[in-house]
Amino acid sequence: MLLLVLQWGGIDYGWGSARVVGLLVAAGLGFLAFGLWQQKKGAEALTPLWIMANRSVAASIGEMFFLSGALLVHTYYLPYWFQAVRGRTPVQSGVDLVPYVATNFAFSMIAGIAVNKTGFFAAPAILGPVVACVGCGLLTTLRVDTSTATWAGFEVLTAAGMGMAMQQPIIAVQAVLEPAVVSIGNAIVLFAQGLSGAIFVSVANNVLRNQLAQNLKESEIPNASAILKAGATDVQGLVPQEYRAQLVRAYNRALSKVFIMSIPFCGIALLFALGLPWINLKKKKQSERETAEH
C-alpha cells in the first residue's frame, strides 16, 4: 500500500485524493498492527524488539537502510541519464555503469581486508558515507556535455564510499549479538536493505516524473504525456528535431533532482554510523578463546 502511494501520489492521483489518503492510513495502520503484534509475541516475535533496541543493531539498520537507498537510486537512475541525456542504448548504459559497480565491489573487498587486518569495522563504516556524500554531490552536477572521464570519476568516487561501508553493518551485528541470535540480527539488517530499495526507488520515480512533467510544461515541449510514459529509451525520437535539445535539458534537470536525494541519505547514514561501537574484533576473538580455554 505504501509503495502504491509513492507511485501514484502527485502523478496519477493528487496527494489529497481519497485513494492516496486511504492507502496512507491503511499502510500506517498495518505498520502499527505489526509493531503491536511483535511486542505481544515477545521473545517469539519475528523481529524481537529487544534486538532492534540494541544501539549497535539500530545503528546498523539505519546505516544499511539509507546507504542502500542511495546506492539503488544511483544504479537505477544513472542508466536513465545515460539513455535520455547521452542518447546511449540500454546495453551501452549498462557498460557505462561498470565503473560504479566494479569500484563498489573492489572497495567492499578492500574494506573487508582492512577490517580483518586492523580488527576495527567502525572506521570504514564512518568514512564510507563521507566519501559517498561527496560523490553524490558531484553526480548532481552532471550535464549534457559532461565528459566521459568526469562522469566516470564521479561514479568511482561515489561507489568507493558505498563499497567500503556497505558490509560493515553486518559485521557490527555479528560483533555485538550472541551467536544464538546473530542470524536474526543479520536478517533484520538485510530486510532493511531490501525495504530501502523498494521505498526509495519508488520515491525517486515520483520525483523524476513530477519534475519532468513540470520541466516539459515550462519548456512547452509537445507530446509530454507520451514522454512521461515512454521511459528513457529512445525518448528523443518522440519529439520533433527542434525540441530535442530542450527535452534533453528537461530530462537532465529532472534527474539532477533525483540524484540530490542521495546526498541526505548518505548524511543520515553517517549519523547512524557514528553510533557503531569501536570494537576490536581481533582482541574480542582472542578474549573469547582465552575464556573458552579456562
Ranges of the chain whose pLDDT falls below 70: 1-20, 38, 41-46, 284-294
Which cell numbers in the block locate residue 286? Answer: 582472542
pLDDT recorded at residue 57:
92
**pLDDT for 134:** 96
Chain segment 29-61, per-residue pLDDT in tens: 777 887 777 677 666 666 777 788 889 999 999
In sequence order, which residues have a C-beta less than 8 Å from that of residue 1 and are 6 or more positions away? 23, 24, 26, 27, 30
C-beta of residue 201 within 8 angstroms of C-beta of residue 73: yes
CA atoms within 13 A on the CB side of 59: 21
Over the chain, what is the mean pLDDT? 85
User: For 239, which DSSP code?
Assistant: S
Q: Give pTM, 2 decimals.
A: 0.85
- pLDDT tens digits along 81-110: 999 899 888 899 999 999 999 999 999 999
Print the SS3 string covering the chain. CHHHHHHHECCCECCCCHHHHHHHHHHHHHHHHHHHHHHHHHHHCCCCHHHHCCHHHHHHHHHHHHHHHHHHHHHHHHHHHHHHCCCCCHHHHHHHCHHHHHHHHHHHHHHHHHHHHHCECHHHHHHHHHHHHHHHHHHCCCCCCCCHHHHHHHHHHHHHHHHHHHCHHHHHHHHHCCHHHHHHHHHHHHHHHHHHHHHHHHHHHHHHHHHHHHHHHHHCCCCHHHHHHHCCCCHHHHCCHHHHHHHHHHHHHHHHHHHHHHHHHHHHHHHHHCCCCCCEHHHHHHHHHHHHHC
Taking only the tens place, the pLDDT of each residue in 170-184 is 999 998 888 888 888
